[in-house]
Amino acid sequence: MGRQKVRSAVLAGAVAALAAAVGPVGTATAAVGPGEPHTVVVDCSGQPQVRPSSYLIACGDGNNGLVSLEWTQWGAASAEGRGSDVVNDCVPYCAAGRFHTYPVTVRLDTVRPRPGQSGQPYFTVLHVHYTADTPARTPRDATYSIVGV
């Protein structure tokens, strides 16, 4: 098998592994109904979610996502929960890397009105705290900005 075919097969396997681990992006346990001003988190496709069971952090390449999320609190100003972060180690490169799972607690905060969405409130900051080991070159506490469009 040629080197390019091997790389393609490895890449396909990595994408399938994350898809299996993360599941459908933005799968929600509660939807936002009409007239309900719930504070939401916006997923990679720009869809509002309330209490999602999974959340993709790395929208561009799918190499980092939260799974098995269980929310202990979801309010107007913040949300808190726990789950696992599934991260590709990208060794020797991302297409050939392996996915590893890390237990985490998560917090959403910093609410802003969502542009172009009738001022719907959305969380703009995701905080991830690794409760055991962390991925390489990742601090125990990582913070991510969320774009609401």
Q: pLDDT tens, position by position, for the chain (149 residues)?
A: 443 343 333 333 433 444 454 444 344 445 445 555 589 999 999 999 999 999 999 999 999 999 999 999 999 999 999 999 999 999 999 999 999 999 999 999 999 999 888 889 999 999 999 999 999 999 999 999 998 77
Instruction: Please tell me the predicted confidence (pLDDT) of residue 7.
Output: 32
Instruction: Please tell me the predicted confidence (pLDDT) of residue 148.
Output: 77
Q: Which pair of structure tokens corresponds to residue 70?
A: 């269980």
Instruction: Please tell me the predicted confidence (pLDDT) of residue 123.
Output: 98
> Prior bond to 135 cis, omega within 30?
no
**Residue 7 phi, psi (nearest 5):** -60, -45
Instruction: Please tell me the predicted confidence (pLDDT) of residue 64.
Output: 97
CA atoms within 13 A on the CB side of 93: 5
Instruction: Please tell me the predicted confidence (pLDDT) of residue 58.
Output: 95
Instruction: Please tell me the predicted confidence (pLDDT) of residue 10.
Output: 34
Q: What is the pTM of this model?
A: 0.78
Cβ 113 vs Cβ 123: under 8 Å: no
